[in-house]
Each structure stands twice: as structure tokens, then as C-alpha cells.
Amino acid sequence: MYLISRFQLILEGHFKMLMRYFGDKWRLFRKGLFLIHCALFFVVGLPFLARAANVSGTVTDTAGLPISGAVIEIQYSTEGCGTYVQTAITVSGDGTYTVSIESSGTYFLKAHLYTGNYFNEWWAGDFLASNCSEAEEVVVGTDDITGKNFKLDKSASIAGTLFSSDTGLPIVDEDIFIFIDLWTGDPCDNPVIFAGGNRKDVNVDGTYKIVQLPPGNYYLQSTDGDEIFQDEWWGDPYSRYDCERAIAISVEAEQDIINKNFQLLDKPPSPGDINMDDAINLTDAILALQVLSQDPVERVWLEGDANLDDKLGLAEVIFILNSVSGP
């Protein structure tokens, strides 16, 4: 106990000496620290205490009917639109939206629909812009901003179902990994994928729908990421393995096109293989002759067409006989 008490007295003595020496400097240090705290509060703290500004408006179609489910993206950038999404809010059922913006600055507004059949638009004053470069700035301070309204133009769409050529049934799979690409130009000579980026995943029930299409001529191509089915181009009456048989779909403004279906093969077709049994023989020749004479036949496959005329007949018979007889 004696040693502990002695140690305490020594510490108290040293502490008093330090306080006598640094007393004035310590008081000055405390005053300086207080001033620094005040400065930090005004510089950093006040903006967070400031009231957030609300930006509000409506989203309707050209007839004035509300479009619910649209997403309003608020983009912040010092270099123009399209660089950073600050926040996003879903439009309510009556077509109105209100979004709070915490910090003042320059923003851009975009109405975006993930599933609806309307074009995405940027706010640009008295009109809307489909291009980010045409968007108009919205300068946000501390006052609420109203009247940032959108009137979205209806777009066109293409829809259909993917069937298995083998079973004739829709391709239904919870893990389906097939998508539809939209192309313009010659499908066999450097086609251009549609600029709208409308690659569409096929639904688990085998259906698909591509929206937000402007008028134009398009080619559809299915691609199976799992490589179970062949990649095919849409054609009439059947989808086709080769690009020469792809058929363009003409789309008009606001038109909803349906029943653009695919009949997918699970293996590449061979010319002359009329019954798709992976062999070219006299059975195929007999089937082609039956088709030519319009006799009732078992199931045949137009993919066995040998001369790309979308018919089964004499040309296929000759091709098959030459294949069977050899060189």
C-alpha cells in the first residue's frame, strides 16, 4: 500500500507541474479547437441540414393517359447526361412522380420503361428527346421544381413463340437460355444489330416480345446459349437455319405484330434428309416423290430442301439419288 500511495503522489506532482507550464497554451488550444469545430459545422454540416429539393411531374402518353410503372432516372453530371445515375423512382399509378434531390447541382431527367411499349425519352423543356445529347439541364437548388412532364410516344412491338420442330410444342424450360436478336440490312452480308439494343431473352413459357421499335424492316434471329437448339432466322412458314431464307418483318409506327414464331431444330439440317433421321437414302426420295404427287405422307421436313426453293419435289429426288449412287 505504501508503494502505491507513493507512486500516486509522484504522478500528481508531475501533472501539476505540466499544467502550470502548459496552462496558457492549453487554454489557447481549446479555443482553437472550438473554432475549428464551428467552421466544420458551417462548411460540412449545414448542407446536410438543408431541406432537400423535390422535382415532380407527370408521365403520360400522347393522349394524356397516365403511364404507371415507368422509371424516372435522375442523372447527375458535370459533363452532360448519360454518365451517372444519381437515383431512380417508379411512377405511381396516376402517372405522377416526385423525387427528392439532396444536393444542389445540374441534373438530367429520363423516363425509362423496362417492359412497356413506349419509347424512352429525355426531358428537354417543351419537347422530349430520344437522345441524351439533346436533353436539357435541370438546375436544382433548395426550391421545389414542378412541371417536369413527359408525354411518351407509343412504339411498335414484335411477339411470338418458340416451338420445337421435333415435338411441335412450345419450348418450356425454367432454365431456358435462348434470346432473340433484331437485325437490319442484309442478313447474309454484314447485318447490323438494331441500334436500340433489343436483344430479348425468351420467357420460360417459350414466348418473347420485343418492344420500343420504330418503323422499319427487321430480321429476327434466335440464339441458344446452351446450344441445344440450332440458331435460326425467322421465316414464313418456318424459321430457317440459313440466312438466305430469312424474311424481313415490316413494322409500322405503333404496330403490335404477333405470331412471329420459330420452329427450332435440335440439330443442323442436311439437304436431302427429308425425314431428318440423319441419313440420306431411298426413303427420302420416296417421301419427296409423295410430296410431289400430293400423296398423304408421314411427317417431312422442309429443311431437307436441296435447292433453296422452299419446296420438296423433283430437285430433291435427283439430289438424293445422286447422293445414294455416289460419285
Residue range 124-142, pLDDT digits in tens: 887 788 887 888 888 888 8
Instruction: Specify whether 225 is located in the same domain as 175.
Output: yes
Local confidence band at 187 (pLDDT 50, 70, 90 cut-offs) = very high
Residue 271: predicted pLDDT: 82
With respect to residue 276, please indicate whether it lies within any of the assigned structural domains. no
- The residue among 164 and 14 whose pLDDT is bigger is 164
Alpha helices in the chain (DSSP H): 2-40, 46-49, 282-292, 314-325
Instruction: Specify whether 73 is located in the same domain as 134.
Output: yes
Overall number of domains in the chain: 4
CATH number for the domain spanning 183: value is 2.60.40.1120
Residue 37 has pLDDT above 50, yes or no: no
Instruction: Specify whether 77 is located in the same domain as 116.
Output: yes
By residue range, what is the domain housing residue 82? 53-152
Residue 269 has pLDDT above 90, yes or no: no
Instruction: Specify whether 76 is located in the same domain as 18.
Output: no
Q: Angle at Cα 290 formed by Cα 289 and Cα 291, nearest 5°?
A: 90
Instruction: Specify whether 88 is located in the same domain as 164.
Output: no
With respect to residue 143, please indicate whether it lies within any of the assigned structural domains. yes
With respect to residue 277, please indicate whether it lies within any of the assigned structural domains. no
Contacts of 175 (CB under 8 A, 6+ apart): none
What is d(CA 63, CA 222) in angstroms, rounded to the nearest whole number?
36
Instruction: Specify whether 38 is located in the same domain as 73.
Output: no
Instruction: Specify whether 172 is located in the same domain as 259.
Output: yes
Residue range 220-257, pLDDT digits in tens: 999 998 888 889 999 988 888 888 889 999 999 999 99
With respect to residue 270, please indicate whether it lies within any of the assigned structural domains. no
Q: What is the mean pLDDT of residues 152-160?
A: 92
Query: What average pLDDT is seen over the chain?
Result: 79
What is d(CA 187, CA 199) in angstroms, rounded to the nearest whole number?
16
- Outline where DSSP puts E strands in the chain: 53-61, 71-76, 85-90, 96-101, 105-112, 121-124, 127-129, 138-140, 150-152, 156-164, 178-184, 192-193, 200-201, 207-213, 216-224, 232-233, 249-251, 256-257, 262-264
With respect to residue 163, please indicate whether it lies within any of the assigned structural domains. yes
Strands 53-61 and 150-152: parallel
Question: pTM above 0.75?
Answer: no
What is d(CA 28, CA 269) in angstroms, rounded to the nearest whole number?
91
* CB distance 202 to 228 below 8 Å: no
Identify the domain boundary among 129, 152, 175: 152
Residue 181: predicted pLDDT: 92
Residue 38 has pLDDT above 90, yes or no: no
Residue 183: predicted pLDDT: 92
With respect to residue 272, please indicate whether it lies within any of the assigned structural domains. no
Instruction: Specify whether 83 is located in the same domain as 140.
Output: yes
- The residue among 304 and 115 whose pLDDT is bigger is 304
Instruction: Specify whether 147 is located in the same domain as 161.
Output: no
Instruction: Specify whether 135 is located in the same domain as 164.
Output: no
Residue range 71-106, pLDDT digits in tens: 888 776 656 666 666 777 888 888 899 988 888 888
With respect to residue 67, please indicate whether it lies within any of the assigned structural domains. yes
With respect to residue 269, please indicate whether it lies within any of the assigned structural domains. no
Identify the domain boundary among 222, 238, 264: 264
* φ/ψ of residue 197, rounded to 5: 65, 35
Q: What is the mean pLDDT of residues 10-33?
A: 49
Cell 412532364 identifies what position?
149
Q: What percent of the chain has pLDDT over 70?
A: 78
- The residue among 239 and 269 whose pLDDT is bigger is 239
Identify the domain boundary among 211, 232, 264: 264
Instruction: Specify whether 295 is located in the same domain as 252.
Output: no
Instruction: Specify whether 71 is located in the same domain as 108.
Output: yes
